[in-house]
């Protein structure tokens, strides 16, 4: 455990504490009957603390990967990691603070105080994305892993940035409600906050929900590099391109579906057709990448053959 903490002490301790905090948030979901629309008031802090646990641990592992490859402490990366951890704590503090007040952080313009909290948390979230890109850029420049892992890291980060832009989109009024009122913006399209949701995950079961695409894009940073790392025997750069293309298509389909005011759980025929085509194309591409993968060279045999040439005249 101590060896893992040394990967990046601030990030790894943050991951551990966020995990503990997620248990507190889960208790809040069960014990506090305060609701925001049809969603428990503590559900958003719970989702964020679980996500931050995975994210901080992934970044800590990335720092360890870089330093193992370079053989030295990478101070720039460690500073970037510390700033990212501080940003995560800033966000979770105000998520919990507002939940204790019985309200929400996001899209909250009920008072000047609430608006300042929301805008500051949004600014810190975007700053976190910039810091993340800088950290990943150092890892890519140092070539700290195999080419397929680096490619997956690059493409996963691109999707993470795209997901952050979906978060920016949520800040705009998309349901025609304008810029006035207690809440400006939101992740629901074609419905309001009091509509039906899916139990457990609390995504919209009636209209569009931008959180689906936001979730898919954010976690590409974990899914794609870990797939390339854990399944290195089967995943080369070609396979990474295929899987990333399929993942990006799923992200795009979920985004278009939400913008059309369509629930993930009630897809239209065009959405079903697009999903089926994506699945078929990704499967075909994976088969092609596997069959055309270069065969690794056979290592030369050890030892020396005796020279058959006679040494006598």
Domain range enclosing 200: 178-292
pLDDT score at 241: 97
- The answer, yes or no, to whether residue 22 has pLDDT greater than 70, is yes
Position with higher pLDDT, 143 vs 96: 96
Q: How far apart are CA 139 and CA 128, in angstroms?
A: 17
For 229-254, how does the pLDDT look when each residue is reduced to its tens digit (9 = 90+)? 999 999 999 999 999 999 999 999 99
- Split at pLDDT 50, 70, 90, the class of 313 is very low
Q: Do residues 171 and 107 lie in contact, with contact meaning Cβ atoms separated by under 8 Å?
A: yes
Q: How far apart are CA 250 and CA 100, in angstroms?
A: 36
| Helix or strand run (H / E) with residue 39 | strand 39-40
- Give the closest residue to 127 by CA, choosing from 91, 99, 154: 91
DSSP codes joined into one string, 153-204: HHHHHHHHHHHHHHHHHHTS--SS-TT-SSB---SEESS-TTS-B-TTT--B
Give domain status of residue 253, yes or no: yes
The structural domain count of the chain equals 2
Q: Is 14 in the same domain as 127?
A: yes
Q: Is 232 in the same domain as 187?
A: yes
Q: How far apart are CA 43 and CA 29, in angstroms?
A: 6
Give domain status of residue 225, yes or no: yes
Q: Is 10 in the same domain as 71?
A: yes
- Split at pLDDT 50, 70, 90, the class of 93 is very high
Q: Do residues 263 and 205 lie in contact, with contact meaning Cβ atoms separated by under 8 Å?
A: yes
Q: Do residues 182 and 107 lie in contact, with contact meaning Cβ atoms separated by under 8 Å?
A: no
Average pLDDT over residues 155-180: 83
pTM, entire model = 0.87
Give domain status of residue 155, yes or no: no
Q: Which residues, 6 or more positions from 49, have their beta carbon under 8 angstroms from its beta carbon? A: 18, 19, 21, 22, 25, 92
Of all residues in the chain, the percent with pLDDT exceeding 70 is 90
Give domain status of residue 297, yes or no: no
> Residue 143 — left, alpha, or beta (φ > 0 → left; ψ -120 to 50 → alpha)?
left
Q: Is 11 in the same domain as 139?
A: yes
For 64-88, how does the pLDDT look when each residue is reduced to its tens digit (9 = 90+)? 988 888 777 788 999 999 999 999 9
Give domain status of residue 160, yes or no: no
> Residue 236 — left, alpha, or beta (φ > 0 → left; ψ -120 to 50 → alpha)?
beta
Q: Is 5 in the same domain as 137?
A: yes
Q: Is 1 in the same domain as 108?
A: yes
Q: Is 132 in the same domain as 196?
A: no
**Of the candidates 96, 120, 144, which is a domain's last residue?**
144
Q: What share of the chain is helix, strand, coil (3-state, %, to 5)?
A: 65, 5, 30
Q: Is 81 in the same domain as 134?
A: yes
**Of the candidates 127, 144, 161, which is a domain's last residue?**
144
Q: Is 18 in the same domain as 124?
A: yes
Give domain status of residue 79, yes or no: yes
Give domain status of residue 170, yes or no: no
- The answer, yes or no, to whether residue 176 has pLDDT greater than 80, is no
Of all residues in the chain, the percent with pLDDT exceeding 90 is 65
Tokens coding 40: 């428990």
pLDDT score at 294: 76
- The answer, yes or no, to whether residue 300 has pLDDT greater than 70, is no
**Of the candidates 94, 128, 144, which is a domain's last residue?**
144
Give domain status of residue 301, yes or no: no
Q: How far apart are CA 273 and CA 254, in angstroms?
A: 13
Q: Do residues 8 and 78 lie in contact, with contact meaning Cβ atoms separated by under 8 Å?
A: yes
Q: Is 27 in the same domain as 71?
A: yes
Position with higher pLDDT, 217 vs 179: 217
């Amino acid at each position: 455990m101590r060896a893992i903490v040394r990967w990046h002490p601030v990030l790894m301790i943050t991951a551990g504490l966020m995990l503990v905090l997620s248990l507190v948030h889960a208790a809040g979901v069960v014990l506090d009957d305060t609701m925001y629309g049809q969603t428990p008031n503590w559900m958003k802090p719970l989702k964020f603390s679980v996500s931050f646990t995975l994210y901080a641990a992934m970044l800590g592992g990335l720092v360890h990967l870089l330093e193992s490859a370079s053989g030295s402490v990478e101070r720039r990366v460690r500073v970037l990691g510390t700033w990212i951890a501080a940003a995560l704590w800033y966000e979770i503090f105000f998520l919990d603070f507002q939940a204790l007040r019985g309200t929400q952080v996001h899209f909250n313009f009920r008072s000047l105080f609430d608006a300042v909290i929301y805008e500051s948390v949004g600014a810190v979230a975007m700053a976190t994305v910039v810091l993340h890109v800088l950290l990943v850029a150092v890892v890519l420049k140092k070539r700290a892993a195999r080419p397929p892992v680096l490619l997956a890291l690059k493409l996963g980060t691109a999707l993470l940035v795209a997901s952050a832009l979906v978060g920016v989109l949520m800040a705009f009024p998309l349901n025609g409600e304008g810029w006035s009122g207690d809440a400006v913006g939101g992740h629901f399209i074609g419905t309001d906050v009091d509509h039906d949701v899916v139990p457990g995950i609390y995504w919209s079961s009636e209209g569009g929900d931008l959180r689906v695409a936001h979730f898919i894009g954010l976690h590409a940073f974990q899914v794609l590099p870990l797939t390339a790392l854990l399944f290195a025997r089967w995943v080369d750069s070609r396979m990474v391109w295929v899987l990333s293309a399929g993942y990006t298509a799923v992200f795009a389909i979920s985004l278009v579906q939400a913008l059309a005011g369509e629930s993930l759980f009630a897809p239209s025929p065009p959405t079903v057709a697009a999903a089926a085509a994506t699945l078929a194309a990704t499967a075909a591409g994976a088969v092609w990448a596997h069959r055309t993968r270069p065969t690794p060279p056979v290592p030369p045999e050890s030892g020396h053959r005796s020279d058959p040439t006679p040494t006598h005249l």
